[in-house]
Structure 1
């Protein structure tokens, strides 16, 4: 059911997706939908949580992909993986457009804090502990980098590489 809902939310947006479409796509009854989820918003929150979890797994895999690439390279690789994954228009719509509007900023921040932001904070902390970047307040730095990545993900596809270059320069500028 979550997978079917994800596909519809990605294609039509939250507002453009009704529960009758979801149950039809999932091959379940409306009763089954409401047995598992209080309402469409609760189902959407589950989709958002799952998208954040999958995205964090992608970022972690990229950051750990090289043989000990170094903490700065890991931050850059993780950021590139994020931007690559966010080129999926449906994922952008779900995570960056609809989620804040439907669930509210606090709920989205809570979900992100368990996944992508947590991963970014771990990367920033590791880079500071390794003395690879300046010792700054880790949480604010992670939040600011997170906002940079989100803004870059919303850029038109032909501008994303310019954002990548700027973000890489900013991260490299943190080096000691």
Structure 2
């Protein structure tokens, strides 16, 4: 009989952290940040409260990690939406449409656009955005010739967020897509 190899402490730690992130994401979507307690999170993850505090300082730190992971997944979808040879404007438009598509994952719009702004300090959200979707939008605008891209990127991001919320509430996506295409073309001019 062969012995099963023992997993390293690092593997066990990464598994536990991933379980906490999955449990937190699920509960934050279902109940919202403020209505989710740490006892429910550890029960859902199947870990001890000590394990939670080993990986995260508190519930807010876990929530910030969940939001960062979601933002990274969104940015990866945006970045993979482009094709070599596209014009910068077309790449921006496709990236925006990829954002709207990925925001249709159940619970994501609520998590990112309702719960996150209510629970996290603005500077935390700004840091996450600067490393993920905000970065991709600024880079796209610069590639399209917009020299001072930060403010237009912030305004376009707000427009895309509002569209994602409207689509999440049940609005048909195509009118939002059309309006955003026009807005991008107007900003890039």
Q: Same fold (TM over 0.5)?
A: yes
1:157 to 158, 170, 177: 170
- Report the counterpart of residue 139 of structure 1 in structure 2: 150
Report Cα offsets for 1:20-41 as digits up to 9, x if no partner.
1111111110011011111111
Equivalenced residue count is 168
Runs (5+) with no aligned partner, structure 2 = 1-19
> SS of the residue aligned with 1:173?
helix
The Cα shift of 1:175 comes to 5.0
1:73 to 85, 90, 96: 90
Is residue 87–residue 157 contact of structure 1 (8 Å, CA) maintained in 2? no
Report Cα offsets for 1:92-141 as digits up to 9, x if no partner.
1111111111112222112111100001001101111xxxxxx4521111
TM-score (normalizing by structure 1): 0.89
Report Cα offsets for 1:46-79 as digits up to 9, x if no partner.
00111111100010001x2x34221111100010
TM-score (normalizing by structure 2): 0.83
Moved more, 72-81 or 7-16: 7-16
Alignment partners' CA distance in 2, 1:94 and 1:139: 24
Displacement over 4 Å in runs of 4+: none
Does residue 1:169 correspond to 2:182, yes or no?
yes
Change in Cα spacing, 1:71 to 1:16, as seen in structure 2 (3 Å) is same
* CA radius of gyration, larger in: 2
Does residue 1:111 correspond to 2:122, yes or no?
no
Runs (5+) with no aligned partner, structure 1 = 129-134
> SS of the residue aligned with 2:86?
coil
The Cα shift of 1:17 comes to 1.6
